[in-house]
Amino acid sequence: TVEGLTGATLYDANDTRVGEISELLLDDTGHVQSIIVEAGEFLGVSRRTLAIEINNLVFLRSDSGNELR
């Protein structure tokens, strides 16, 4: 669900942690258009915000439900 995406950890194709999904951008019909990811160091060093279009992602959810790969 859309609610389950917010706060999920996002990984790249090399299984490297990218960051955490902080926000979802919806189109006029309510479908997810893009995700906003907070990426970088935990303590704010080199931290950046990324917008990734949803059609550039492949979703694989862990058994715990909190990780997307």
Biggest CA pair distance of the chain: 37
* pLDDT tens digits for range 7-16: 888 888 888 8
Three-state secondary structure call for residue 5: helix
Average pLDDT, the chain: 82
Question: In the prediction, which pLDDT does 37 show?
Answer: 92
| 1/15 Cα distance (integer angstroms) | 23
* pLDDT tens digits for range 21-31: 999 999 999 99
Residue 50 has pLDDT above 80, yes or no: yes
Mean pLDDT of 56-67: 72
Residue 66 has pLDDT above 70, yes or no: no
